[in-house]
Amino acid sequence: MKRLSLAGCALLLMITAIAFSSNQKAFNAGGVQVEVENRNPWTHLRVNDDPGTFHFAVVSDRTGGHRARVFSQAIDQLNLVQPAFVVSVGDLIEGYTKDQARLNKEWKEFQGYVHKLKMPFFYVPGNHDLTNPTQVEEWKQRFGRRYYHFTYRDVLFLMVATDDEGEDQKSYGKISKEQAEYFAGVLKDNPNARWTIVCIHKPIWSMEKADQAGWIDVEKNLAGRNYTVFAGHVHRYQKFVRNGMNYYQLATTGGGSKLRGLEYGEFDHFAWITMTREGPVVANLLLDGILPENLQKPITEEEGVVVANRKAVHPTKAKVLLDGTPIPGATVSLESLDEKKMKYFRTSDGMVEADGAVVFSTYTAADGVPAGDYVATVSLRQPKFEPSGKAGPNVLPERYLDATKSGLRVQVKTGDNQFVLELVREAPPMKEPEKK
């Protein structure tokens, strides 16, 4: 009897093994239902669907000479990719006016776009939106608060106004004492947020007089927690690392730009953020690469801004050499003299290619240079930026950074222009003759 039982158990185990090896075992977890065998055509079945993970998008500057059918196109593209919500970093209307009728028209146009979104849109004001007391009052009537916060799935969002006291601060920006105190209270009341996202218009940590702009007070209160900052304003993409945290200066979502591409940080995009338990994963989605199933870009009726007072430009190229050798990656600027202020200012610029060639841009990519007399300045920074965002060290002779010392004078005339810029290294210092 005992032998029979043992034989029966062995038979049962053999049948089970044969069934498993020759056929399947049902799997149902994380929503995946599949038959599992000894060998299977997949890597694993740990589905990436953590309930703490969500997606949101950050749109950058729309204005500052906005271009036709870009921001409105981005609205359709945001509806394609379906984030949980969209946040902004300011400069939503052209502004810079006290004309109430014009302000009403601009805000009506902008709100008409964002109301097409199938998800919430969170406003942040920029300098174009809060230029003067009239615009500050207009914002108040339409949206109430200039700065605020919200939380979503244990993530804290700080929506900061860098022109809280109006454009009197010029390009430097300003966070008022009251605003800094407000966010100090918010951070104190939310000690256990798993991450903090800061949306701010001007990257005032990198600008002149940053220590007077109020940001340092906010930054001190962020110390000791995990956070990420998103800004705009400069219309050029750049990443900074401060206090071990990532700060992103976004490019444009339709705002004024030469659009010279990734190398220059000039492109239209929005940031796509996957918020994981370990922190945000940032992907830049370029608008040119987001297409619906029919591969047709959405066509909208958004009108662009005609930028006044642009001078006629003429195609301009140069060959840039250091001791007869190309210096790829160097930045060349053509600067003209303001005789009233007796100061040089940049008119056009370009980056040197591998063969030493550079094509100059003034208003748009490779459009050329206005006719006139210029001094060229040249720099080559390696790396281009330090992790802190500060420009890297210049490896060329310092005199070529200064228009008053570079000696590289050029004249741009009507028609095509081509010239060579010959740089030479500093001569070694003369040794004094040895005394006998």
pLDDT digit string, tens, across residues 300-326: 899 999 888 899 999 999 999 999 999
pLDDT(158) > 60? yes
Between CA 87 and CA 197 the distance in angstroms is: 10
Between CA 408 and CA 411 the distance in angstroms is: 10
Q: Band the pLDDT of 342: cuts 50, 70, 90.
A: confident
Q: Return the pLDDT at 427.
A: 54
pLDDT(1) > 70? no
Which CATH architecture describes the domain 313-423?
Sandwich (2.60)
Q: Return the pLDDT at 341.
A: 83
pLDDT tens digit sequence for 193-234? 999 999 999 999 988 777 788 899 999 999 999 999 999 999
The domain limits of the chain are 54-289, 313-423
Q: Which of 19-23, 55-59, 99-103 has the lowest mean pLDDT?
A: 19-23
DSSP string, 392-411: PPB-S-GGGG-TTT---EEE
The beta strand positions in 354-396, using DSSP E, are: 357-359, 369-370, 372-379
Q: Return the pLDDT at 435.
A: 58
Q: Return the pLDDT at 30.
A: 66
Phi/psi class of residue 124: alpha, beta or left (left: φ > 0; alpha: ψ in -120 to 50)?
beta
Between CA 126 and CA 436 the distance in angstroms is: 71
Q: How far is CA 117 from CA 40, 86, 222, in A?
A: 41, 9, 31
* CB-CB contact of 175 with 214 (8 Å): yes
pLDDT(19) > 90? no
Q: Please, which contacts does 399-404 make with residues 24 or more away whose CB atoms are closer than 8 Å? A: 399/426, 401/377, 402/377, 403/335, 403/337, 403/344, 403/375, 403/377, 404/344, 404/375
Q: Return the pLDDT at 11.
A: 44
pLDDT(261) > 80? yes
Between CA 280 and CA 45 the distance in angstroms is: 24
Distance between the two ends of the chain, CA-based, in angstroms?
Answer: 118
Mean pLDDT of all residues belonging to the chain: 90
- What is this structure's pTM? 0.89
Q: Return the pLDDT at 21.
A: 44
Task: Give the helix/strand (H/E) hosting 60.
Answer: none
Q: Return the pLDDT at 170.
A: 56
Q: Band the pLDDT of 388: cuts 50, 70, 90.
A: confident
Between CA 196 and CA 160 the distance in angstroms is: 13
pLDDT(428) > 60? no
| 351 vs 27, more confident | 351
Q: Return the pLDDT at 286.
A: 98
Q: Classify 54-289 by CATH class.
A: alpha beta
Q: Return the pLDDT at 24.
A: 56
Q: Return the pLDDT at 108.
A: 97
Would you give the distance in Å from CA 116 to the centre of its chain? 24
Q: Return the pLDDT at 29.
A: 61
